[in-house]
Amino acid sequence: MAIYIDENTQVLVQGITGRQGSFHTGQMLAYGTRIVAGVAPGRRGQTVEGVPVYDTVAEACSRYRVDASVIFIPAAGAKDAVLEALEAGVGVVVCVTEHVPLHDEMLMVAAARRKGAVLIGPNTFGVVSSGKCKIGIPPNQVFVPGPVGVVSRSGTLSYEIVANLLAAGIGTTTVVGMGGDRIAGRNFIEVLQDFENDPETKAVVMIGEIGGTAEEQAAEYIRHHLTKPVVAYIAGKSAPPGKRMGHAGAIIERGRGTFAGKVQALQAAGVQVAGLPLEVPELIKEVI
């Protein structure tokens, strides 16, 4: 099994004719993702990598079963693209776009919750169910099937740690990019709940970073509800206090969200915390 997407998921690409949309459409198809249509207003009748293009999500959905959509739309239009997909009844929406305004993110997340849909992102690398379906921008070669679920706030760290797992002979079930912004469509606790309910996921790797309290909240959930082992890595150990790092959410404020605080909370919940990304595979081998 997998969470959110699998080999039967039919995908729509919003912004398919743009440089990023067209490039990553090719990469997703190469991985085996079933992309059935794309959307680019005014480009109806064109094709990208053999995928037909329509003017609206509603039109595409009237012609194909669309289970998930991925959005390659600039920040100014990302909110409208997400809302268009949700209104058309798409159940999983992946918003890769970064620099989305905070209030737009709030509206997007609220709309997804009202619809009962899964929103991943914004500012995410996407989601991969290994060997089955890739939606987003990660490199194809590191995602092979295995027993470990991964949830992360960081794209490049995810690729590194998944590659380290693969080098150690350990594959992944689903790898979820929460996104690096302060507001995320799917948070650590929700993804951990879904991994808990997935029989093929035997352990979870959680990749966090300084800033915010998402990791501390996840630690509390793990302590009381999760039965599967968790290994964590927290980025930002050497960051100066108050220093804004690469993500909008990676800032320490008023003493909250520190590296030490996150590590302490996770360890108190029984989570093994790796000091370096390359240590994650050995810790996983101890628990699976």
Same domain (yes/no): 60, 186: no
Same domain (yes/no): 233, 270: yes
Same domain (yes/no): 104, 186: no
**How much of the chain exceeds pLDDT 70, in percent?**
94
Residue that is written with structure tokens 């959680």 in the block = 206
Phi then psi for residue 228, to 5 deg, are -95, 145
Same domain (yes/no): 113, 143: no
Q: Quote the pLDDT of residue 245.
A: 55
CA distance 110 to 120: 13
Helix ranges (DSSP H) in the chain: 19-31, 57-63, 75-87, 102-115, 155-167, 188-196, 214-225, 259-268, 280-287
**Confidence band for 212, pLDDT divided at 50, 70 and 90:** confident
Number of domains in the chain: 2
**Confidence band for 239, pLDDT divided at 50, 70 and 90:** low
Domain span holding position 247: 139-287
Same domain (yes/no): 52, 170: no
Rg (CA), the chain: 18
Edge-first strand listing for the sheet containing 68-71: 47-48, 51-54, 34-39, 10-14, 68-71, 92-95, 118-120
Q: Which residue, 120, 154, 171, sits at the end of a domain? A: 120
Per-residue CA distances from 232 to 55, 100, 158, 201 (Å): 43, 28, 12, 16
- Residues serving a catalytic function are 247
Q: What is the pLDDT of residues 10-69, one digit of tens each?
A: 999 999 999 999 999 999 999 999 999 999 999 999 999 999 999 999 999 999 999 999
The single-letter code of the amino acid at 166 is L
Q: Quote the pLDDT of residue 246.
A: 53
CATH code assigned at 18: 3.40.50.720
Q: What is the pLDDT of residues 179-190, one digit of tens each?
A: 989 899 999 999
Look at residue 173 and tell me if it is in a domain: yes
Whether 250 shows a pLDDT value over 50: the answer reads no
